[in-house]
A and B are shown apart, each in its own frame.
Chain A
Amino acid sequence: MATLSLSRLDKNYGSFHAVKGIDLDVADGEFVALVGPSGCGKSTTLRMIAGLEDITSGDIRIGDRVVNDLPPRDRNISMVFQSYALYPHMTVGENMGFTLKIAGRGKAEIAEAVAKAARVLEIEALLDRRPAQLSGGQRQRVAMGRAIVRDPDVFLFDEPLSNLDAKLRGQMRTEIKELHARLESTIVYVTHDQVEAMTLADRIVIMKDGRIEQVGSPDEVFNRPATQFVAGFIGSPPMNMADARVVGGNLRLSDEAELPLPPGVAAQDGQNVVLGLRPDDIYPQGHGIHTEGGDAVEPRDLTVKLSEPLGNETLLFVDFGGKGWTARMLNPRIVKRGEVLGFHMDLSRAHLFDAETGRSLRTE
């Protein structure tokens, strides 16, 4: 196992600037997830780490070696592809043992390593099959097995679960987490599923347009998003965002709707801002997630336009300040359309972003 460090990493495809100066340090044994919308450069970054893509400028270090120009085979990494990329002309066992065979290891040693990995992933019964005879989930396991057998310094995953159905995805997610705990390996994991990133990673890297927006623990990126983009990307259902203007110490959402300025933010009078409030922080009185009733709680009577009962909670859709908001109701009761409820908006948990730069205006 080893550390991984990217500094000022750049990638141009002709005139297209796909990755723009990325800096990232991954500690030994750390699980880092790269997330971001489609086309933001996640795969490109991963492929540069793997050596499958030339880097335009910058440095990549694995352990204490600069690997910028080394071919993939000399970087001691392994990678699980989104497509799995199993060798169709080899059996599962041969697929997993291929790396050792190329390294010139003996038959017995290969068989032992393959058997061990197969035991970990519970695919011992499949070793003699060909990839074509496997289900999607089994192929996924084999692809992971192939990566494990290599015993690399760094594991790279490129959206390994995106081809699986929701249930299997949840199951494999747990298994990857267990695997990481067991192998204590350094992992860089690309996904566009924020739930995967939140549940698996020690730290999350949120990318946008080839740049890093924020790096932080799941708790940090969720509770202290550095930008409006991060705030909107992390969390489900997504954070409510409303354009507002700071007028006389208040937030004016529209002519008839105003809220007090949330505590702990620095905003000038007349500044255009975006207010962000998670659905968790708007709730009918008595149905909130967090301790209710602090100083910064704003009561409002709002009309429910639509309710989505999910069993343990109900999502309520309301209008406020000329905008639709999603609210979350815990311990739900049946709410009818058109019903007027007393909502609490917990502004102590609200976020404020500069409308121009999108940067958070929180000071604490």
Chain B
Amino acid sequence: MDANKTARLKRRATNWALNIALFIAMAIICLPGLWIVLNSLRPTVEIMAKPPVWIPNQLSFDAYRDMFSGIGQGGIPVLQYFRNSMIIAVTSTVISLAIGMSGGYAFARYRFRFKGGWFLGLMLTRAVPGIALSLPLFFLYARVGLIDTHAGMILAYTALNVPFTIWLIDGFFRQVPKDLAEAAQIDGCTRWQAFWQVEFPLARPGIASAGIFAFLTSWNEFALASQLTRSTSSKTLPVGLLDYTAEFTIDWRGMCALAVVMIIPALLLTYAVQKHLVSGLTSGAIKG
């Protein structure tokens, strides 16, 4: 057999092996998600069964129907929670992005005193576990009356997200050559126009990813929210999950159903934003 043919076969075999390995890895990653969806559709007995039941005997949407059927009939104020989560996550994301863009741009473009120190300080705030902040925050919020308000949660999440958005967006602005903004100014732009016409579009992938991260952090956060919210007027979906725990029982099916309800908007958002996550936008600007 000639060498070319062997090489070709070998390459094909490697490809297959890689694909299979990839499939297994993806299956492992996706399994918990699938399990949640599955569990939301079947009774607790089956969920708790040992050994686990892989193929469900019957599926029902009871959990979802109950969830929306109002307080007292096994329902929880899911729409209210959803609204709270949405308001808090969207607002804090928008604010984090605005601050992240300004801060990231400043770190990428300007020289100022203690720049390194500022940056390190920002990163250090991320080193503190969120739960360690909850008690001090609780006292502080109790004093100023921010407990159980949207504003309080928005503030907390914005503070949590800003270091990360600044860091991420800074990296993307760094990749946009400085010459471009200068060329734009010579072409007649103000500093502000140059930013929006040239630098912003080129850093968009970074801003989009920072947005996704900020949104998901706020959307999924539990530790702080469980301390700082207490009524339906501000409880978010992750905290709402706790409504399914009674003193001695946990309604696993209901919890899973609510988890699915939580996952869907996150998935939709990620899907909508991902088309902005293309790389290599800045190539071609300069002759390297």
Q: Of residues 96 to 123 in A, which have CB atoms within 8 Å of B's CB atoms?
A: 98-99, 102-103
Alpha-carbon distance A50/B188, docked complex (angstroms): 12
Which B residues touch A89, using CB under 8 A? 198, 201-202, 281
Please tell me if the beta carbons of B187 and A130 are within 8 angstroms of each other in the complex. no
CB contact between A78 and one of B179, B186, B191, B287 (< 8 Å): that residue:
B186
Alpha-carbon distance A29/B186, docked complex (angstroms): 20
CB-nearest residue of chain A relative to B286? A83
Best-buried of B179, B182, B187, B197 by chain A (most CB within 10 Å): B187
- Residue B98, interface by CB 8 Å: no
Which A residues touch B182, using CB under 8 A? 50, 52, 72, 81, 85
Which A residues touch B186, using CB under 8 A? 50-52, 72-73, 77-79
- Residue A71, interface by CB 8 Å: yes
CB-nearest residue of chain B relative to A164? B287
CB-nearest residue of chain A relative to B179? A85
Alpha-carbon distance A86/B281, docked complex (angstroms): 12
- Residue B245, interface by CB 8 Å: no
Which A residues touch B197, using CB under 8 A? 98, 102
Please tell me if the beta carbons of A85 and B188 are within 8 angstroms of each other in the complex. no
Alpha-carbon distance A238/B72, docked complex (angstroms): 96
Please tell me if the beta carbons of B188 and A99 are within 8 angstroms of each other in the complex. yes
**Min CB distance, A113 to chain B, in Å?**
13
Give the A-B pair count, Cβ closer than 8 A. Answer: 89
Please tell me if the beta carbons of A98 and B184 are within 8 angstroms of each other in the complex. yes
CB contact between B187 and one of A132, A139, A146 (< 8 Å): that residue:
A146
- Residue B185, interface by CB 8 Å: yes
Please tell me if the beta carbons of B198 and A163 are within 8 angstroms of each other in the complex. no
- Residue A131, interface by CB 8 Å: yes
CB contact between B189 and one of A50, A102, A133 (< 8 Å): that residue:
A102
Query: Please, how many residues of chain A have a CB less than 8 angstroms from a CB on the other chain?
Result: 32
Please tell me if the beta carbons of B286 and A99 are within 8 angstroms of each other in the complex. no
Alpha-carbon distance A239/B201, docked complex (angstroms): 51
Best-buried of B177, B183, B282 by chain A (most CB within 10 Å): B183
Alpha-carbon distance A89/B184, docked complex (angstroms): 13
Please tell me if the beta carbons of B180 and A85 are within 8 angstroms of each other in the complex. yes
Alpha-carbon distance A85/B182, docked complex (angstroms): 9
Which A residues touch B285, using CB under 8 A? 83-88, 131
- Residue B231, interface by CB 8 Å: no
- Residue B283, interface by CB 8 Å: yes
Interface size class on chain B is 20 to 34
CB contact between A79 and one of B183, B191, B198, B287 (< 8 Å): that residue:
B183
Which B residues touch A136, using CB under 8 A? 287
Which B residues touch A84, using CB under 8 A? 285-287
CB-nearest residue of chain A relative to B284? A132
- Residue B102, interface by CB 8 Å: no
Report A64-96 CB contacts with B as 1/0, cut-off 8 Å: 000000011100011101011111110000000
Which A residues touch B183, using CB under 8 A? 79, 81, 85-87, 146
Which B residues touch A50, using CB under 8 A? 182, 186
Known: A102-B189, A131-B285, A133-B284. A83 touches B177 (CB 8 A): yes
Which B residues touch A52, using CB under 8 A? 182, 185-186
Report B224-268 CB contacts with A as 1/0, cut-off 8 Å: 000000000000000000000000000000000000000000000
Alpha-carbon distance A51/B187, docked complex (angstroms): 12
Which A residues touch B281, using CB under 8 A? 88-89
Alpha-carbon distance A136/B179, docked complex (angstroms): 17
- Residue B125, interface by CB 8 Å: no
Report A337-349 CB contacts with B as 1/0, cut-off 8 Å: 0000000000000
Alpha-carbon distance A130/B285, docked complex (angstroms): 9
CB-nearest residue of chain A relative to B285? A88
Best-buried of B177, B198, B287 by chain A (most CB within 10 Å): B287
Which B residues touch A72, using CB under 8 A? 182, 185-186
Alpha-carbon distance A51/B190, docked complex (angstroms): 12
Which A residues touch B286, using CB under 8 A? 83-86
Known: A83-B179, A89-B202. A139 touches B287 (CB 8 A): yes
Please tell me if the beta carbons of A87 and B180 are within 8 angstroms of each other in the complex. yes
CB-nearest residue of chain A relative to B204? A89
Alpha-carbon distance A159/B21, docked complex (angstroms): 52
Alpha-carbon distance A327/B83, docked complex (angstroms): 87
Which B residues touch A98, using CB under 8 A? 184, 187, 197
Q: Of residues 134 to 166 in A, which have CB atoms within 8 Å of B's CB atoms?
A: 134, 136, 139-140, 146, 150, 163
**Min CB distance, B285 to chain A, in Å?**
4
Which B residues touch A88, using CB under 8 A? 202, 281-285
Which A residues touch B184, using CB under 8 A? 87, 98
Alpha-carbon distance A83/B286, docked complex (angstroms): 5
Which A residues touch B201, using CB under 8 A? 89
Report B117-156 CB contacts with A as 1/0, cut-off 8 Å: 0000000000000000000000000000000000000000
Q: Of residues 29 to 63 in A, which have CB atoms within 8 Å of B's CB atoms?
A: 50-52
Alpha-carbon distance A73/B286, docked complex (angstroms): 22
Please tell me if the beta carbons of A71 and B185 are within 8 angstroms of each other in the complex. yes
- Residue B15, interface by CB 8 Å: no
CB contact between B287 and one of A73, A83, A102, A150 (< 8 Å): that residue:
A83
- Residue B193, interface by CB 8 Å: yes
Which B residues touch A85, using CB under 8 A? 177, 179-180, 182-183, 285-286
Jot down 10 A-B pairs with beta carbons below 8 A, ordered by A.
Answer: A52-B185, A52-B186, A71-B185, A73-B187, A77-B186, A85-B285, A86-B286, A98-B187, A98-B197, A150-B188
Closest 10 CB pairs of A and B: A132-B284, A131-B284, A85-B179, A83-B286, A99-B187, A85-B183, A102-B188, A88-B284, A72-B185, A88-B285
Mark A residues whose CB is within 8 Å of B: 50-52, 71-73, 77-79, 81, 83-89, 98-99, 102-103, 130-134, 136, 139-140, 146, 150, 163
